[in-house]
């Protein structure tokens, strides 16, 4: 039997830390549950020492995820390791991932230490982490620019100290595939105890080589690949796991390895990560882009009609793509909606059928017919904005004229109270609604980005508004969905208000427990 490649996802750590706005605990849990459904082997869910919010997220995810191993990041510092272990303490089995710069550049300009001091720090940290778990991963940060002699030495020492996984990162995406593959090959030739650990790689995409370097590493013996869904991450991002996985499946003839990933979850997981992280997927993105399985050329279309294999090396069904159907109307019952969600792969526990059906009926009355992507959008937004919600949009009324003047009256439920405010502005109806909402909430918010997307096709398509705001030096992302643009804009801002309110509650709770 060919070797298994361990798939290590760091979307919630390396991916999340590069986003414009931090994710809430609820958003991280949604992504973690999607990764678990996809049967990711290991998920790195945070850097607990970095903030109270990150610590709380790791702790809450650890309580929920049952079938994927949880991992937390720590510097080679005892306090970091203690906090990482504490965040995962509800688990019987978890991984601590410690890292340390090993290139001359990182040692001398960042850490101000020589190589012998770096080796001592690595050994001591690994041994210290073994107090909490036997599953220790050690990363040689900037391994791609570390001399091969130093890299071999520290890898040997780290394994002797108890590291069970050794990660070789191309931290700045500098190496080319043949170079990176040779680094892994030399480690296997020169490190005497290399068979005592799993060799992992973590490649960045600064030169567009992350997936190529990961595949080259597999050919040279690496058996764990680290990356993110959709390739999100620092700067140009990480290796896109969906590309690595499908390359392994498609090129068995060359790679002779396998994964246990549930590939039919790839498309859905990709959409969830894109939506929650507010990072649209480019149309030409490999595997998951909207054009990945579309054909425009007449020659290509003719070839596809005769045999899809002429121009498709992957079947769209493998990653969970299904044809869009027009099978639901306002006359459809709750059972039909639930059945359609089941056909699309959703379990009852992943959405609220009562809330979804109410939203479905409202949309069906407006559109007449409801598409699969409409249902998915409604289910996603409902899940994002589930109770408890402190703020709830009760009513709004807007009047605007061609002169640019707009007046908005908004009624907002705030906990057990209801408030109504109005605002007038020369910047249009959306700005008027936002000013009225800010009067009620009292939050001093700076709107940094406003984006409108059509979810579906035609004049009755749902309008999704994504906004990014700044509040007290933190950024928050909000989503709103409705057939009316002003309504979806209002919902997006109320979504933000609730995120701010929940963030305040987390800090208050943590302060009480200190």
Q: Which residues participate in the annotated binding site for Mn(2+)? A: 14, 202, 204, 238
**Number of CB atoms found within 10 A of residue 26's CB:** 16
Q: Which two tokens stand for residue 165?
A: 């996984």
Q: Are 30 and 383 in contact (CB under 8 A)?
A: yes
Counting DSSP H helices and E strands in the chain, the numbers are: 17, 18
Q: Which of 229, 202, 211 is CA-nearest to residue 34?
A: 229
Pairing, β 257-258 against β 328-329: unpaired
Four-point Cα dihedral 123, 126, 127, 133, nearest 10: -170
Query: Where do we find the tokens 């001093």?
Result: 444
- List, in sequence order, every residue forming a beta bridge with 240; answer none if it has no partner: 228
Peptide bond into 388 cis (omega under 30): yes
Long-range contacts for 335-340 (Cβ within 8 Å, ≥24 apart)?
337/375, 340/372, 340/375
What single-letter DSSP state applies at residue 108?
I
Token digits for 248?
A: 């392994």
Distance from C-alpha of 370 to C-alpha of 386, rounded to nearest angstrom? 22
Give Cα 100 to chain centroid, integer Å.
24
Q: Which residues have C-beta within 8 Å of that of residue 463, sequence separation ≥ 6? A: 452, 453, 454, 455, 481, 482, 483, 484, 485, 488
Instruction: Give the annotated binding-site residues.
Output: 14, 202, 204, 238
Distance of alpha carbon 65 from alpha carbon 43, whole angstroms = 10
């Amino acid at each position: 039997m060919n070797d298994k490649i361990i798939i290590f996802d760091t979307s919630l750590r390396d991916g999340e830390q590069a986003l414009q706005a931090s994710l809430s605990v609820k958003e991280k849990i949604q992504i973690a549950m999607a990764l678990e459904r996809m049967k990711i082997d290991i998920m790195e869910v945070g850097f607990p020492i970095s903030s109270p919010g990150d610590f709380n997220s790791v702790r809450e995810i650890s309580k929920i995820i049952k079938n994927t191993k949880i991992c937390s990041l720590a510097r080679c510092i005892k306090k970091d390791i203690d906090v990482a272990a504490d965040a995962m303490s509800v688990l019987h089995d978890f991984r601590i991932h410690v890292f340390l710069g090993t290139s001359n550049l990182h040692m001398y300009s960042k850490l101000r230490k020589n190589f012998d001091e770096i080796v001592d720090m690595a050994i001591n940290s690994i041994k210290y982490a073994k107090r909490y778990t036997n599953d220790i991963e050690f990363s040689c940060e900037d391994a791609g620019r570390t001399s091969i002699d130093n890299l071999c030495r520290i890898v040997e020492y780290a394994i002797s100290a108890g590291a069970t996984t050794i990660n070789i990162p191309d931290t700045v995406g500098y190496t080319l595939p043949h170079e990176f593959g040779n680094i892994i090959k030399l480690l296997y030739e020169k490190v005497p105890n290399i068979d005592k650990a799993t060799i992992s790689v973590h490649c960045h995409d600064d030169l567009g080589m992350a997936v190529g370097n990961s595949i080259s590493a597999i050919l040279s013996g690496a058996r764990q690949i680290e990356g993110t869904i959709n390739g999100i991450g620092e700067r140009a991002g990480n290796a896109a796991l969906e590309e690595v996985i499908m390359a392994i499946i498609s090129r068995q003839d060359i790679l002779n390895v396998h994964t246990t990933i549930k590939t039919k979850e790839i498309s859905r997981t990709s959409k969830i990560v894109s939506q929650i992280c507010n990072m649209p997927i480019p149309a030409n993105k490999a595997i998951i882009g909207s054009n990945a399985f579309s054909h425009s050329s007449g020659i290509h279309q003719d070839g596809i009609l005769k045999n899809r294999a002429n121009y498709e090396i992957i079947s769209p069904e493998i990653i969970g793509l299904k044809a869009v159907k027009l099978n639901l109307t306002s006359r459809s019952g709750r059972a039909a909606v639930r059945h359609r969600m089941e056909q699309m792969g959703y379990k009852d526990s992943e959405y609220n059928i009562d809330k979804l059906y109410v939203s479905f009926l409202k949309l069906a009355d407006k559109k007449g017919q409801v598409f699969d992507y409409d249902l998915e959008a409604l289910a996603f937004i409902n899940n994002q904005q589930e109770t408890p919600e402190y703020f709830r949009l009760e009513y709004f009324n807007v009047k605007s004229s061609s002169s640019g003047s707009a007046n908005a009256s908004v009624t907002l439920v705030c906990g057990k109270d209801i408030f109504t405010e109005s605002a007038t502005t020369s910047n249009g109806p959306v700005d008027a609604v936002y000013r009225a909402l800010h009067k009620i909430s009292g939050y001093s918010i700076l709107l940094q980005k406003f984006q409108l997307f059509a979810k579906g096709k035609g004049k009755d398509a749902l309008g999704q508004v994504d906004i990014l705001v700044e509040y007290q030096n933190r950024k928050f992302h909000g989503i709103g969905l409705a057939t009316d643009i002003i309504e979806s804009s209002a919902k997006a801002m109320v979504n933000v208000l609730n995120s701010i309110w929940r963030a305040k509650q987390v800090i208050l709770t943590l302060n009480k427990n200190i």
